[in-house]
Chain A
């Protein structure tokens, strides 16, 4: 069983990613016979660096990616420290779920309206400041990428918090906190000196995922990032879709550069880790009680509250826009209301919704089946998981998507496989499987082994144990993993764009396309649905086990 899963992963995951990277790499060095490029050389790199604004684009990409990741990490840790006593597993999941559920694109679209000079915040301030016209300030798409950093943080802080809270269950937190504080250390100091160093190895991989994403996001960069020049991933996507096929070569070189940028950032992260470990040890040994640090937790608290407010406003803004008719400056609410965004966009909206739902269910189903097969295979082989397997699972999340998606698409075309629903489902599954696997494996391994032993001793074979004991007992975490799978699938933009050859219109591709259009109301309708789908999945993941297990006390609070 494990062998089968490994084979599926090798042929379905590693093979294609490697092949995609290979095609991209060859094109990056001038070899792409399909467009008549047969001479290997550095011309694509020369062309790439000849692009106006490339250096600025690189700088802004590195800056936004690294700064957003570091700030997200710091804020997530501080918030975890500040809120941890009140956030048991289930509660945290419920509180953070909406933020995890909103696709990046929808959040970005909403946030852009909240922040813009003519947006909600400015409108609220206009009467106070006496503004008759929106200020001419670059609040969205600013040259420093502050809006982009903010948008990324709104998505990544909740993710890192959830990861941290999950990792904390593996640390004797209560005892360490009590010990530290009885020795006279402040709460924040105990966290910094005792807890974070233990936590870090457990959350390093997720942080790297966040870093890789922040450095290579297309949809958020497109909506919130600077435009002239844009961040690297946006620039590359434009090159890949430019009419002049010769640009595919510098675009491929750029995709390699994107990969190198992520690698350099990982190296930087490692250096920071080493430096902090050294400095930290000296700091710990000096024995300062650091009680003055505690107000920082209060600041984190306030920032967390501000982030929740900002995220909530973004979601609300989308919803309101979808029911607005005229909403001119400086009105805080629409002047007139209408259902036309929903009714007028009817057939397209319904089709995109159906398509999105179908793809989400298919990818989640595949990913769940694979994850269960993998974990069950481990149980049956009675072997613990190998470290390389962990890395394997994370691989698609650590590579910039653009680096292999183009090669993958080109490879598929050469094999005569038309892009379409099947390829999109498969490509999305590459990204959905890791999240499902990561979410499911901890609760799976935490399952009381005596349950399956008792079942075996009662004569239940392996399949009966799986279907009548393990899966039902693990229903809540399985549904949570499924909800995360749906959320990840719904949010996918580049894989759908590249592998669907433009024919597969999902809520996300449509919302991103519409965000470059003029009708915020229709965009609002698409983005609202785009949020609603994963939110519904999360709600189902909480409600179904609660309903099915309403009379089963031992399974309550087990959700997520």
Chain B
């Protein structure tokens, strides 16, 4: 005990003295709490990883995690909103949310988030939080410490090399490819994040001036920027699966269609996902990743804490644990989850670097240099408008 105090004192003298004491308070307060982590539950490996996180935080900090599996992150946002509407400002039912993009924007704007808190997390030291770094901006919205990163996301396609010789090289190339292979590709419904991302990826490539996408969309700007996109889509749609009249609800269903042999192309927001899916028996061994020539959209997945979270301290402990180098290495391990780490390799200590260096390799796992440049997400208003416009154009 005395040794621990001495160590804490020494640590506090060396780094930020106030933070260490505060963090100890947080750890003490968190002990015994159960954190209700609201996270999309459609991916078995992610679910298993969240289970693992819960077991570790339970063993190390006495914080247990209950994974509230969502079909859509918006469900959790609604829950917090209705609690706020009902005046329930403490003891809320959501402690931690896997979040980004429009959902983050909505919660931040309506004052539904606790924070800023990221700088208080000891493991935030391993992050690159310099201005403009990927972990500080979420769909062009400044994070400002209101959400903590945990996994890196890149939009990629997967195709079955046993059925497809050459996948489309650019977004524009999807039109002739689909014409040659009618009914063999589709995209998730654009009301779903992945479906919207497919449209955004095409928009970035096809918009006359991609620069406008970084600013909030207005009516005229939206019409001008999306006109080529709709031309492209009108040409593509008739050759989509089901003639473009029906769409899989999300990328998991899409992957299932590819696994069933109904389509040949799938989409992911995680370059390691196809390799992971092969190992999980959910894709044929012959599936491989491809990215359009100009690169693809990338972003960071975050966790945020609602302002009324009943177990805020526990949620902070879990958010911090997610950033520990060994957690991140475990997460990036293709045998576990395979999601890319959000840590800055330059800030890791030797042990951290060794943990990453020891990770296993996989033939279906792309190298980071195969993925091309990372395209920045358009401002969140573009996604909202794209989704609405698509629904108005194609839902009859």
Alpha-carbon separation in the docked complex, A228 to B259 (Å): 23
Apart from the given pairs A344-B44, A344-B48, A510-B69, 19 other A-B contacts in the complex at a CB distance below 8 Å: A35-B81, A136-B243, A141-B246, A228-B245, A228-B246, A238-B191, A241-B72, A325-B281, A410-B86, A416-B86, A418-B93, A501-B93, A502-B38, A502-B70, A516-B252, A516-B253, A517-B252, A518-B282, A519-B44
A459 CB–B CB distance under 8 Å: no
Give residues of chain B (246-262) contacting chain A, Cβ–Cβ below 8 Å: 246-247, 249-253, 255-257, 259-262
A116 cross-chain contacts in B, Cβ below 8 A: 260, 262
Indicate whether A518 sits within 8 Å of B43 (C-beta atoms), given known contacts A52-B391, A502-B68: yes
Q: Give the contacting residue for B261; candidates A133, A226, A244, A522; CB below 8 A.
A: A133
Alpha-carbon separation in the docked complex, A254 to B112 (Å): 27
Alpha-carbon separation in the docked complex, A65 to B322 (Å): 47
Q: Give the contacting residue for B75; candidates A136, A141, A502, A522; CB below 8 A.
A: A502
Give residues of chain B (355-396) contacting chain A, Cβ–Cβ below 8 Å: 391-392, 394-396
Give residues of chain B (41-79) contacting chain A, Cβ–Cβ below 8 Å: 41-44, 47-48, 51, 66-79
B347 CB–A CB distance under 8 Å: no
Contact indicator B77/A243 (Cβ below 8 Å): yes
Contact indicator B245/A143 (Cβ below 8 Å): yes
Alpha-carbon separation in the docked complex, A247 to B229 (Å): 28
A141 cross-chain contacts in B, Cβ below 8 A: 246
B255 cross-chain contacts in A, Cβ below 8 A: 518
Alpha-carbon separation in the docked complex, A214 to B189 (Å): 25
Alpha-carbon separation in the docked complex, A512 to B242 (Å): 23
A326 CB–B CB distance under 8 Å: yes
Alpha-carbon separation in the docked complex, A116 to B36 (Å): 36
Indicate whether A329 sits within 8 Å of B102 (C-beta atoms), given known contacts A227-B249, A338-B281, A502-B68: no
B106 CB–A CB distance under 8 Å: yes
A12 CB–B CB distance under 8 Å: no
A503 cross-chain contacts in B, Cβ below 8 A: 36, 66, 68, 93
Alpha-carbon separation in the docked complex, A344 to B279 (Å): 14
Question: Which residue of chain A has its CB nearest to the CB of B257?
Answer: A118
Q: Would you list the 7 A-B pairs with minimal beta carbon distance, nearest first?
A: A329-B261, A136-B183, A518-B252, A34-B85, A118-B260, A517-B42, A53-B395
B241 CB–A CB distance under 8 Å: yes
B103 CB–A CB distance under 8 Å: yes
Q: Give the contacting residue for A136; candidates B73, B77, B189, B242; CB below 8 A.
A: B242
B83 CB–A CB distance under 8 Å: yes
Alpha-carbon separation in the docked complex, A513 to B394 (Å): 26
Contact indicator A410/B82 (Cβ below 8 Å): yes
Q: Give the contacting residue for B396; candidates A35, A53, A133, A336; CB below 8 A.
A: A53
Give residues of chain A (113-171) contacting chain B, Cβ–Cβ below 8 Å: 116-118, 133-134, 136, 138, 141, 143
Contact indicator A243/B78 (Cβ below 8 Å): yes
B277 CB–A CB distance under 8 Å: yes
B280 CB–A CB distance under 8 Å: yes
Q: A261-280 vs B: 1/0 string, CB under 8 Å?
A: 00000000000000000000
Q: A45-75 vs B: 1/0 string, CB under 8 Å?
A: 0000000110010000000000000000000
A419 cross-chain contacts in B, Cβ below 8 A: 93
Contact indicator B245/A348 (Cβ below 8 Å): no
Closest-CB distance, B28 to chain A (whole angstroms):
26
Q: Give the contacting residue for B83; candidates A134, A338, A413; CB below 8 A.
A: A413
Contact indicator B86/A328 (Cβ below 8 Å): no
Closest-CB distance, A286 to chain B (whole angstroms):
47
B43 cross-chain contacts in A, Cβ below 8 A: 517-518
B interface, CB within 8 angstroms of A: 36, 38, 41-44, 47-48, 51, 66-79, 81-83, 85-86, 88, 91, 93, 102-103, 106, 182-184, 189, 191, 241-243, 245-247, 249-253, 255-257, 259-262, 277, 280-282, 284, 391-392, 394-396
Alpha-carbon separation in the docked complex, A418 to B42 (Å): 26
A505 CB–B CB distance under 8 Å: yes
Contact indicator B67/A348 (Cβ below 8 Å): yes
Scoring A133, A227, A242, A519 by chain B CB atoms within 10 A of each residue's CB, the highest score goes to: A519
Scoring B102, B280, B394 by chain A CB atoms within 10 A of each residue's CB, the highest score goes to: B280
Q: Give the contacting residue for B241; candidates A136, A502, A517; CB below 8 A.
A: A136
Contact indicator B78/A242 (Cβ below 8 Å): yes
Alpha-carbon separation in the docked complex, A296 to B43 (Å): 48
Contact indicator A329/B71 (Cβ below 8 Å): no
Scoring A143, A518, A521 by chain B CB atoms within 10 A of each residue's CB, the highest score goes to: A518
Contact indicator A329/B36 (Cβ below 8 Å): no
A325 cross-chain contacts in B, Cβ below 8 A: 281
Q: Give the contacting residue for A227; candidates B44, B47, B246, B261; CB below 8 A.
A: B246
Q: A475-513 vs B: 1/0 string, CB under 8 Å?
A: 000000000000000000000000001110100001011
Q: Give the contacting residue for A241; candidates B41, B78, B284; CB below 8 A.
A: B78
A347 CB–B CB distance under 8 Å: yes
Q: Give the contacting residue for B253; candidates A35, A344, A518; CB below 8 A.
A: A518
Question: Which residue of chain A has its CB nearest to the CB of B182?
Answer: A136
Contact indicator A414/B86 (Cβ below 8 Å): yes
B392 cross-chain contacts in A, Cβ below 8 A: 52
A52 cross-chain contacts in B, Cβ below 8 A: 391-392, 395-396
Question: Which residue of chain A has its CB nearest to the CB of B282?
Answer: A518
Contact indicator A328/B259 (Cβ below 8 Å): yes
Question: Which residue of chain B has its CB nearest to the CB of A116?
Answer: B260
Closest-CB distance, A446 to chain B (whole angstroms):
46
Indicate whether A241 sits within 8 Å of B75 (C-beta atoms), given known contacts A118-B260, A503-B93, A517-B252: yes
Q: Give the contacting residue for A117; candidates B36, B93, B262, B282; CB below 8 A.
A: B262
Q: Give the contacting residue for B106; candidates A118, A238, A243, A410; CB below 8 A.
A: A243
Question: Which residue of chain A has its CB nearest to the CB of B280?
Answer: A519
A-B contact pairs, 26 of them (CB 8 A): A34-B85, A36-B85, A53-B391, A118-B260, A134-B260, A136-B183, A138-B242, A241-B74, A243-B73, A243-B78, A243-B103, A244-B106, A326-B281, A328-B260, A329-B260, A416-B86, A502-B38, A503-B36, A503-B93, A512-B71, A513-B42, A516-B42, A516-B252, A518-B43, A518-B252, A519-B280
Give residues of chain A (189-248) contacting chain B, Cβ–Cβ below 8 Å: 226-229, 238, 240-245
Alpha-carbon separation in the docked complex, A348 to B47 (Å): 9
A347 cross-chain contacts in B, Cβ below 8 A: 51
A470 CB–B CB distance under 8 Å: no
Question: Which residue of chain A has its CB nearest to the CB of B163?
Answer: A133
Question: Which residue of chain A has its CB nearest to the CB of B44?
Answer: A519
Alpha-carbon separation in the docked complex, A419 to B79 (Å): 11
Indicate whether A56 sits within 8 Å of B396 (C-beta atoms), given known contacts A419-B93, A503-B93: yes
Indicate whether A518 sits within 8 Å of B277 (C-beta atoms), given known contacts A34-B82, A502-B76, A503-B93: yes
Q: Give the contacting residue for A118; candidates B75, B93, B262; CB below 8 A.
A: B262
Indicate whether A516 sits within 8 Å of B71 (C-beta atoms), given known contacts A116-B260, A329-B261: yes
Closest-CB distance, A495 to chain B (whole angstroms):
16
Alpha-carbon separation in the docked complex, A118 to B51 (Å): 32
A330 cross-chain contacts in B, Cβ below 8 A: 261
B250 cross-chain contacts in A, Cβ below 8 A: 516-517
Indicate whether A522 sits within 8 Å of B76 (C-beta atoms), given known contacts A136-B242, A138-B246, A325-B281: no
Alpha-carbon separation in the docked complex, A52 to B388 (Å): 9
Alpha-carbon separation in the docked complex, A234 to B392 (Å): 18
Contact indicator A522/B44 (Cβ below 8 Å): yes
A520 CB–B CB distance under 8 Å: yes
Alpha-carbon separation in the docked complex, A413 to B277 (Å): 41
B48 cross-chain contacts in A, Cβ below 8 A: 344
Alpha-carbon separation in the docked complex, A522 to B73 (Å): 21
B78 cross-chain contacts in A, Cβ below 8 A: 240-243, 245
